[in-house]
């Protein structure tokens, strides 16, 4: 029987990681996610790292990060960070975000 992921995962990030390692870990080897995360990092280090730790805490990685930014937020950085903030304070927002990703969810 195949293992079904329910979103409860061990966090991939550790406090010993450098910022570069955090970005590469969350990007999960996906080139579009890597480019996006380094772009966000260069623009605002603290906002980017905050967002990445939130995304790690809810199990969103790689292609799904890029999809949130590109598809849901229409490449609007402020909207991206606003969604991350909402997700941070509300489990309902986590469910809504994952539902929006829907059938296109990629288990990176």
Question: From first to last of its 108 residues, what are the pLDDT tens digits of the chain?
Answer: 333 344 445 689 988 999 999 999 999 999 999 999 999 999 999 999 999 999 999 899 999 999 999 999 999 999 999 999 988 888 777 888 888 887 566 666
Q: Sort 24 into a burial class: Cβ within 10 Å, 0-12 / 13-18 / 19+.
A: middle
Residues constituting the chain: 108
CA-CA distance, 9 to 18, in Å (whole number)? 21
What per-residue confidence (pLDDT) applies to 9?
56
Q: What is the pLDDT of residue 8?
A: 47
């Amino acid at each position: 029987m195949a293992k079904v992921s329910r979103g409860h995962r061990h966090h991939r990030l550790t406090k010993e990681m450098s910022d570069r390692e955090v970005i590469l870990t969350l990007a999960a080897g996906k080139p579009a996610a890597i480019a996006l995360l380094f772009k966000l990092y260069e623009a605002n280090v603290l906002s980017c790292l905050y967002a990445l730790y939130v995304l790690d805490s809810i199990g969103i990685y790689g292609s799904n990060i890029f999809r949130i930014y590109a598809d849901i937020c229409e490449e609007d950085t402020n909207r991206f960070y606003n969604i991350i903030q909402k997700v941070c304070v509300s489990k309902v927002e986590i469910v809504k975000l994952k539902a929006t990703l829907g059938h296109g969810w990629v288990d990176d």
